[in-house]
Amino acid sequence: MTTATLERSTLSDTAVEQFLYLEARLQDEHRYDEWEALWASEDTLYWVPRRQDADPAREVSYIYDNRARLASRIRQLNTGVRHSQAPKSSLRRLISNIEISRNGDDVEVQSNFILIESRRANLTTWAGRTTHMLAPAENGFRIKRKTVVLVNCAEAIDNLAFLV
C-alpha cells in the first residue's frame, strides 16, 4: 500500500466516522428531521431485531421500518405529544470499535455503542452493535440500511420510545 493510498483510505475512514458521530448527535438532540435527511430517499431499512439471528419475515422486531414507516415515526416524534417522550429523554451515545469495509460504491460500517437515557430521574443504559450500509452522496453519505442489535435484545426491555 502506498502512502497516497493510505492517506486516501484514512481520509475516507475519517469521513465515515464523522458521519456516524453526526448521526448520533442529531439523534441525541432529537433533531429528527435532520436525522431523516441522512437517509437515502428510497429502498431503505431501519431494523432493531428481537434476537441476534432473527428473520424479520417470520418474527416480530422492535423496529422494522421502510422509508415511509420511518417518515411516519419521525412525524409522531416531532408532534411533541407522544406520551412516552413528554418530556423528551436526555440522551448521549458513545460510539466505538468502528470497522469499515467497502462493497463496490457502498460502505458497510459496524460499530458498538453505549446509549445513556435519562428520563424522570431514571438512568437507563442501552448497548449494542450497529451495522450501517452507507451510499456515497454529494455531501458525504446516505444511510441505506441500519441494523441495531441490542445486547439484551432477547430480554424484555424498557420502552424504546426514541430512535436507537
Q: What is the pTM of this model?
A: 0.86
Residue 2 lies in a domain: no
Place of cell 430480554: 155
| Residue 60 counted as domain residue | yes
| CATH number for the domain harbouring residue 83 | 3.10.450.50
Q: What is the pLDDT of residues 2-23, one digit of tens each?
A: 444 444 455 589 999 999 999 9
pLDDT digits (tens, 9 = 90+) for 33-71: 999 999 998 889 999 998 888 888 888 888 899 999 999
Q: In Å, what is the CA distance from 35 to each residue of 51, 55, 136, 141? A: 26, 27, 16, 12
- Check: CB of residue 90 under 8 Å from CB of residue 118: yes
Mean pLDDT, the chain, integer: 86
Instruction: State the total domains in the chain.
Output: 1
Backbone angles phi, psi at 90, to 5 degrees: -90, 125
Q: What is the pLDDT of residue 73?
A: 85
DSSP track, 114-130? EEEEEETTEEEEEEEEE
Judged by DSSP in three states, 150 sits in: strand
Q: In the prediction, which pLDDT does 84 show?
A: 63
What is the domain range of residue 30? 13-150
Stretch among 76-85, 91-100, 142-151 having the lowest mean pLDDT: 76-85
